[in-house]
Amino acid sequence: MATENYNRLLSIYYDINLLESSSYLLTWDNETNVPERGSAHRGEQLSLLAGMIHEKSSSEELGNLLATVEEEYTKHDPYCDERVNLREWRSEYDRLTKLPNDLVREIKKATVDGRKFWLKARESNDFSLFAPSLQRIFDLKRREAEYYGYVTEPYEALFAIYEPGIQLPYIETVLSQLRDDLKQLVRDIQGSSVAAEIKNLDEHIPASVQETFVRKITAQIGFDYESGRLDIAPHPFCMQIGPGDTRLTTRFDEDYFPSALFSSLHEAGHGLYEQNLPENAWGSPLGSYVSLGIHESQSRLWENMVGRSESFWDYWLPIFKQDMNAYKDLTLEQFHLAINKSNPSFIRVEADELTYNLHILIRFELERALVNGTLETADLPRVWNEKYRDYLGIEVPNDSVGCLQDIHWCTGLVGYFPTYSLGNLIAAQFYHKIKIDYPDIEEDYKIGKYDRLLDWLKSNVHHKGMTYRTSELVEKITGEKLSATYLLDYLKSKYGKIYKL
């Protein structure tokens, strides 16, 4: 039986989450529907709600109640529902209250300006317009890290916002191994003769035809359209508005269908996670996803391990050809090769499954150095371009497609990039375990069945909510610490076969 104080706390957080989910709908609508002249007002609505949410979740009254309830539960099992929620509430409350208001305001201002200068710099391809602003943001983020506290370097504290509980030195070792091996794999592929045989996927397919197919395929893997939607947005995303309401977005390129198809499988992977979180715990950490890394593991698993596998297309290719009325001559092997083409390129969001991680590693190394003060922003373009030459073997032609391409830093998202690669690592490690549990899992895909896979994900990941943090969950499920081995094995085996290495 929960204490009266605990229930009071639960209900306060429920209301805060309702406000937050309201602001999610405003955001979703802002990305999908808002008329051109309506977005200024939307900004005002969102800023009011953000202020109210911040005020409520960092109030002294809430802090006192939280402390009282913590006292009441010191002797309980740390993994009982109440202790799990208390652990996460505490962590959030501390993060929200550790920063002095002055610093919060300064960061807010610096990132509003930052976004402006970033846009200008990118437009005119002139990094110097953005450099002072970016320097200011990183200086402030360093101060932010000081307030949170860390053991060896400021970057630790910022990384911990997105992946609490994963030790930075450990993740560094994992990512370094990933980097070194991937660099080699990319070089090997560059030397392969297979590249010349790859078909282009540029047949024209009307958006409406693509959309029907995307709906069919996402529904069949298990996304529930009675509890969700698919809409169009310039930058695809998935958003849970609340129980029974999870929304995917995508965009259609009529001359390049993989854009919508794989981004939809990716977002549906996120969506399946959201749709299968424990609904009755909605509004508390127990009903929430673990971390960005775990979230990304779900999207990558469906997009890449499943959606780019030969078994998957063994079932879908005939349907695809019929529905799309296109690519009639392509064999399964040719199709599989075409959707797995790997090619070093400048833009992260367009990168393939293999090179993507190198884009992330570059950003991880650079943002870490910028926060820790071992790199000056003025030197960023030079070092960025050097790393692209070293890791991907390409010459960045200008900063707009170089160090100015991502929006993250100018909005204050620092420590966020590694979660993308974490997602890939975890997806591979989970998938390795799934194949141990069900060695014939890929036979399911050949008949268009995904129940065993989805049930495995539900019971091991989705239904657990936030009970365990990232590293714990990975160990709990796979019996091992997070490791680079499984992603590397998966990529080496897959690309080795495809490129006949």
- Catalytically annotated residues: 267
The site that binds a copy of itself (CB under 8 A) totals a number of residues, namely 35
Angstrom distance (rounded) from CA 182 to CA 488: 8
39-47, 163-171, 378-386, 468-476 -> range binding a copy of itself (CB under 8 A): 39-47
Cα 68 versus chain centre, distance: 35
Are 292 and 419 in contact by the 8 Å Cβ rule? The answer is yes
Does residue number 41 form part of the binding site for a copy of itself (CB under 8 A)? Answer: yes
Q: Which helix (H) or strand (E) holds 239?
A: strand 238-242
Q: Which helix (H) or strand (E) holds 250?
A: strand 245-250
> CB-wise, 279 or 451, nearer to a copy of itself?
279
20-28, 99-107, 148-156, 287-295 -> range binding a copy of itself (CB under 8 A): 20-28
Angstrom distance (rounded) from CA 495 to CA 489: 10
Does residue number 132 form part of the binding site for a copy of itself (CB under 8 A)? Answer: no
Does residue number 37 form part of the binding site for a copy of itself (CB under 8 A)? Answer: yes
Cβ 17 to a copy of itself shortest distance, Å: 10
Does residue number 55 form part of the binding site for a copy of itself (CB under 8 A)? Answer: no
32-40, 98-106, 108-116, 418-426 -> range binding a copy of itself (CB under 8 A): 32-40
Does residue number 29 form part of the binding site for a copy of itself (CB under 8 A)? Answer: yes
Cβ 37 to a copy of itself shortest distance, Å: 3
Four-point Cα dihedral 190, 193, 195, 196, nearest 10: 130
Cβ 402 to a copy of itself shortest distance, Å: 35
Does residue number 42 form part of the binding site for a copy of itself (CB under 8 A)? Answer: yes
Q: Which helix (H) or strand (E) holds 368?
A: helix 356-372
> CB-wise, 27 or 342, nearer to a copy of itself?
27
In the set 2, 5, 31, 49, which binds a copy of itself (CB under 8 A)?
Answer: 49
Cβ 280 to a copy of itself shortest distance, Å: 12
In the set 1, 36, 60, 200, which binds a copy of itself (CB under 8 A)?
Answer: 36
Cβ 13 to a copy of itself shortest distance, Å: 13
Cβ 25 to a copy of itself shortest distance, Å: 6
Could you say which residues in the range 197-256 bind a copy of itself, by CB under 8 A? 224-229, 241-245
Four-point Cα dihedral 409, 415, 417, 423, nearest 10: -160
DSSP 105-161: HHHHHHHHHHHHHHHHHHHTT-GGGTHHHHHHHHHHHHHHHHHH--SS-HHHHHHHH
Cβ 396 to a copy of itself shortest distance, Å: 37
Q: Of 281, 272, 313, 296, give the one whose Cα is nearest residue 426.
A: 296
Neighbours of 451 (CB within 10 A): 10
> CB-wise, 39 or 176, nearer to a copy of itself?
39
Sign of CA dihedral 297, 301, 305, 307: negative
Residue type (1 letter), 490: Y
Are 301 and 162 in contact by the 8 Å Cβ rule? The answer is no
In the set 2, 5, 8, 21, which binds a copy of itself (CB under 8 A)?
Answer: 21
Cβ 30 to a copy of itself shortest distance, Å: 10
Cβ 23 to a copy of itself shortest distance, Å: 8
Does residue number 31 form part of the binding site for a copy of itself (CB under 8 A)? Answer: no
Angstrom distance (rounded) from CA 239 to CA 493: 34
Residues 282-321: x where in contact with a copy of itself by CB under 8 A, - otherwise, as a string: x---------------------------------------
* 199: its two tokens: 């078909």
Are 86 and 17 in contact by the 8 Å Cβ rule? The answer is no
Angstrom distance (rounded) from CA 70 to CA 75: 10
In the set 5, 22, 309, 345, which binds a copy of itself (CB under 8 A)?
Answer: 22
Residue found by looking up tokens 């960045």 in the block: 396
Are 51 and 434 in contact by the 8 Å Cβ rule? The answer is no
In the set 26, 53, 96, 119, which binds a copy of itself (CB under 8 A)?
Answer: 26
> CB-wise, 226 or 395, nearer to a copy of itself?
226
In the set 3, 4, 7, 38, which binds a copy of itself (CB under 8 A)?
Answer: 38
Neighbours of 100 (CB within 10 A): 11
Contacts of 234 (CB under 8 A, 6+ apart): 31, 251
> CB-wise, 34 or 198, nearer to a copy of itself?
34
Farthest-apart Cα atoms in the chain, separation = 69
Residues that bind a copy of itself (CB under 8 A): 15, 18-19, 21-23, 25-26, 29, 33-42, 44-45, 48-49, 224-229, 241-245, 282
